[in-house]
Amino acid sequence: MKQRILLGTVAALTMSAGTVLAGTLDDVMAKGHLQCGTNTGLVGFAAPDENGVWEGFDVAYCRALAAAIFGDPMAVKFTPLTGKTRFTALASGEIDVLSRNTTWTFSRDVDLKQTFVGINYYDGQGFMAKKSLGVSSAHELGGASVCIQTGTTTELNLADFFRSNGMEYDPIPIETNAEAREQFFADACDVYTTDRSGLAATRASHEDPDSLVVLPEIVSKEPLGPLVRHGDDQWADIARWVLNALVSAEELGITAANAMEMAEGTNNPEINRLLGSEGNFGEMIGLPGDWAVHAIMARGNYEEIFEAYIGVNTPIGLVRGVNALWTDGGLIYSPPFR
């Protein structure tokens, strides 16, 4: 086999390099599974359990996408990716979709030629301090020592924030999140800064979470969402509308438990269009008519996914906040199924 792969590579290399991408959906159907890029491990968002089955907030999206295509939430294989390898893995076709808490930015969208299909979590950089430090606002942090992961946008945001507020700080550069956590708990720095979801997870892992306080200021916008390659609009549509289906399902009250029942027809035309008992949305997008039913039944609607992996009843305990539905004053919003 090894030799065959080698020969195949040599043969493939000699072929013209400018092969045009075939339809990603066709490729995925031919493979029989979805290849989803995700995190090597981020609390609540992606982690393998003791049997090696990946679960998490980002993972659940890929399960829904796989279910929409194949009717089976397990028809997806995960490629763990680091922050450095994620975009090339997507660009080279190693993965079909990247769902790895990736911030939607101008340069990633335009320059790296990715298509962000939506936002599934609005994050932002925050600060965490020990309660004993006695601060209640990030504006009181002048002169503090700050544990900070190097080489991330977090580092730049931090510098911007302190400069614009005319404060001094003492950065303590740290390589990984785990190391930062150890340093912060060991009092090597006064404040730890990273995305607020990460802060919540770190706080939850402390022996006495009440001795730590997450400061109210948010110093950056980190809209996280799944993304696909430029150049295949049909595939981007599928990825986008599966995400929208999960959000709409929450809005319309469709859950994993009642999706099958509602798919038989209700007196709400939008539910009927979404679940396929009216109209032919499945055909339009190139999927089976009950694509959304399977997507919702994979891990539930947006709310169910949120509550199962990162919500208040999990160890991370994130409140919905800006990630509530627009009807509840949040930012999560899906265009209509019409």
Site for other proteins, rule CB under 8 A: 1-6, 8-9, 12-13, 15-17, 19, 21-22, 27, 39-52, 56, 77-82, 84-85, 88-89, 91-94, 176, 178, 181-182, 201-202, 204-207, 314-316
Compare residues 16 and 267 and give the one whose CB is closer to other proteins: 16
Compare residues 46 and 129 and give the one whose CB is closer to other proteins: 46
Whole-angstrom distance, CA of residue 258 vs CA of residue 279: 20
3-state secondary structure of 228: strand
Compare residues 5 and 267 and give the one whose CB is closer to other proteins: 5
Q: Is the Cβ–Cβ distance between 62 and 34 less than 8 Å? A: yes
Structure tokens at 332: 């999560």
Q: How far is the CB of 199 from other proteins (least distance, A)?
A: 12
Compare residues 39 and 194 and give the one whose CB is closer to other proteins: 39
Q: What is the DSSP string of 154-211?
A: HHHHHHHHHHHTT---EEEEESSHHHHHHHHHTTS-SEEEEEHHHHHHHHHTSSSGGG
Q: What is the DSSP string of 261-279?
A: HHTT--S-HHHHHHHTSSS
Q: How far is the CB of 17 from other proteins (least distance, A)?
A: 6
Q: How far is the CB of 258 from other proteins (least distance, A)?
A: 28
Q: How far is the CB of 336 from other proteins (least distance, A)?
A: 35
How far apart, in Å, are the Cα atoms of 207 and each of 151, 180, 181, 239, 320?
A: 29, 16, 12, 40, 24
Whole-angstrom distance, CA of residue 295 vs CA of residue 104: 23
Q: Is the Cβ–Cβ distance between 245 and 273 less than 8 Å? A: no
Compare residues 201 and 305 and give the one whose CB is closer to other proteins: 201
Whole-angstrom distance, CA of residue 314 vs CA of residue 330: 21
| Nearest partner of 49 among 39, 61, 38, 41, judged by Cα | 41
Compare residues 95 and 138 and give the one whose CB is closer to other proteins: 95
Compare residues 78 and 122 and give the one whose CB is closer to other proteins: 78
Compare residues 181 and 196 and give the one whose CB is closer to other proteins: 181
Compare residues 19 and 164 and give the one whose CB is closer to other proteins: 19
The set of residues, in sequence order, having a beta carbon less than 8 Å from that of 216 and lying 6+ positions away, is 136, 137, 138
The β-bridge partners of 225 are 102
Q: How far is the CB of 54 from other proteins (least distance, A)?
A: 9
Q: How far is the CB of 269 from other proteins (least distance, A)?
A: 40
Q: Is the Cβ–Cβ distance between 301 and 246 less than 8 Å? A: yes
Q: How far is the CB of 168 from other proteins (least distance, A)?
A: 31
Q: How far is the CB of 235 from other proteins (least distance, A)?
A: 13
Q: How far is the CB of 300 from other proteins (least distance, A)?
A: 18
Q: Is the Cβ–Cβ distance between 66 and 72 less than 8 Å? A: yes
Structure tokens at 74: 């397990």
Whole-angstrom distance, CA of residue 197 vs CA of residue 314: 12
Q: To 10 degrees, the CA torsion angle through 247, 253, 255, 259?
A: -110
